[in-house]
């Protein structure tokens, strides 16, 4: 009886993991961009598991190794099969954090943001806020967060490590050594704005959350300017629907903003109202402007509503879907590719600016706006 009970206790974690794998495989079979079957996904999962447990069957792995990260390995195998570098399983804490960000609910953090070039790569600093740590600068590589090797973390998990109660300490390791950074209450705005000295309106969109369209409208109502700089530098994207709604402030009703290709179906997203067509607009982009940011920049550019200044954008022309799983975690995977209104592909290519400027794009953009206003008169 004791042996039976002990065996059951060992098997329960395995059964939980196996159940989640069935959820993962079912979701991918139904909604991933590349069509596949559950049988193909099972084989891909087994191939990855066999790197760690040679000659094990899929069923034996779940039963005999309940303590192993079988779900993560299986998901990695699926990612190779589907050629989807963004496919990952998110632990409950990381998944909850991502959902909060989409809702515009930022958590306390250390005053800097991070990005990751790809699986197996460490994270590096994207941007340091005004109240961020003086020891860090954009581009610095962080090899460890709270003792976790960042090369082994997904970008979502790494960003979760940044969060914690206000006043708590984050331990990180860089080439400069190990040090601690205090977390503080966040600025929950996704949009900041001001009027520059020459009367030009400046609008910075950090990311596209559910709250972003309302924030943009409030900013535009206060700026009341005929010349506008929209800063999308270091904007890694967010909700496609939010980017479409923001574009509606500048385009005629019914204008195509993006076309999403889901397997054999092309789904257009258009503006649902008519926006201001007279304001002169210049958009700032750089190599970290990605996804929804590229959708907005290319839409305004393709419709002739904006000039682009800066450097070539990131080139993320695919859309990820996030699905909740029964354990509280979630699945992120590519569900669509997108085209700009003019039919251009962005994946792996990015958007080239009209005016390439690395050293001082803000000043260059203001000069371009001045020339556009002169042309008007």
Q: What is the rounded average pLDDT of the residues 133-159?
A: 93
Cα(103)–Cα(97) distance, rounded to whole angstroms? 10
- Please return the burial class of 330, using the count of CB atoms within 10 Å of its CB with bins 0-12, 13-18 and 19+: buried
Query: pTM of the predicted model, to two decimals?
Result: 0.88
Predicted confidence (pLDDT) per residue in 31-52, tens digit: 999 999 999 999 999 999 999 9
DSSP-derived 3-state class of residue 186 = coil
What CATH architecture is 191-376?
A: Alpha-Beta Complex (3.90)
Q: Where are the domains of the chain?
A: 2-84, 109-182, 191-376
Q: What is the DSSP string of 56-72?
A: --HHHHHHH-TTS-HHH
The tens digit of pLDDT for each residue in 287-324 reads: 999 999 999 999 999 999 999 999 999 999 999 999 99
Check residue 130 and give its pLDDT: 82
Question: What is the C-alpha to C-alpha distance for residues 196 and 306, in angstroms, rounded to an integer?
Answer: 19
Beta strands at 265-270 and 280-285: parallel, antiparallel or unpaired: unpaired
Would you give the DSSP letter of residue 325?
Answer: -
Tens digit of each residue's pLDDT (9 = 90 or more) over 207-255: 999 999 999 999 999 998 889 999 999 999 999 999 999 999 999 999 9
Domain 109-182, classified CATH 3.90.1150.10, yes or no: no
CA distances 94 to 90, 138, 141, Å, are 6, 24, 21
Burial zone of 377 (CB within 10 Å; 0-12 exposed, 13-18 middle, 19+ buried): exposed
């Amino acid at each position: 009886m004791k042996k039976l009970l002990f065996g059951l206790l060992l098997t329960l974690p395995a059964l939980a993991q196996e159940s989640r794998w069935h959820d993962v495989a079912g979701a991918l079979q139904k909604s991933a961009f590349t069509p596949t079957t559950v049988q193909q996904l099972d084989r891909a999962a087994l191939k990855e598991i066999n790197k760690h447990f040679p000659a094990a069957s899929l069923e034996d792995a779940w039963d005999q190794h309940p303590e192993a990260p079988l779900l993560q390995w299986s998901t990695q195998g699926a990612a190779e099969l589907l050629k989807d570098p963004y496919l990952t399983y998110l632990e409950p804490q990381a998944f909850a954090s991502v959902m909060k960000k989409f809702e515009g609910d930022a958590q306390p953090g250390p005053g800097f943001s991070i990005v990751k070039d790809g699986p197996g790569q460490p994270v590096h600093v994207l941007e340091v806020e005004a109240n961020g740590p003086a020891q860090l600068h954009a581009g610095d590589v962080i090899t460890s967060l709270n003792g976790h090797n960042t090369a082994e973390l997904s970008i979502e998990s790494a960003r979760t490590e940044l969060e914690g109660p206000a006043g708590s300490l984050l331990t990180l390791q860089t080439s400069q050594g190990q040090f601690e950074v205090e977390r503080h209450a966040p600025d929950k705005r996704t949009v900041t704005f001001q009027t520059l000295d020459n009367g030009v309106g400046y609008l910075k969109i950090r990311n596209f959350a559910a709250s972003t369209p309302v924030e943009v409208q409030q900013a535009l109502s206060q700026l009341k300017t005929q010349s506008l700089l929209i800063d999308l530098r270091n904007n890694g994207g967010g909700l496609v629907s939010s980017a479409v709604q923001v574009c509606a402030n500048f385009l005629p009703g019914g204008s195509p903003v993006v076309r999403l290709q889901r397997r054999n179906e092309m789904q257009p997203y258009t503006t649902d109202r008519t926006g201001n067509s007279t304001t002169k607009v210049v958009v700032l982009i750089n190599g970290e402007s990605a996804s929804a940011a590229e959708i907005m920049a290319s839409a305004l550019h393709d419709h002739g509503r904006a000039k682009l200044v800066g450097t070539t954008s990131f080139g993320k022309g695919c859309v990820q879907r996030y699905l909740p799983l029964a354990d509280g975690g979630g699945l992120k995977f590519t569900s669509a590719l997108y085209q700009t209104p003019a039919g251009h592909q962005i994946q792996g290519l990015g958007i080239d600016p009209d005016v390439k400027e690395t050293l001082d794009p803000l000043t260059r953009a203001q000069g371009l706006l001045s020339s556009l206003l002169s042309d008007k008169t």
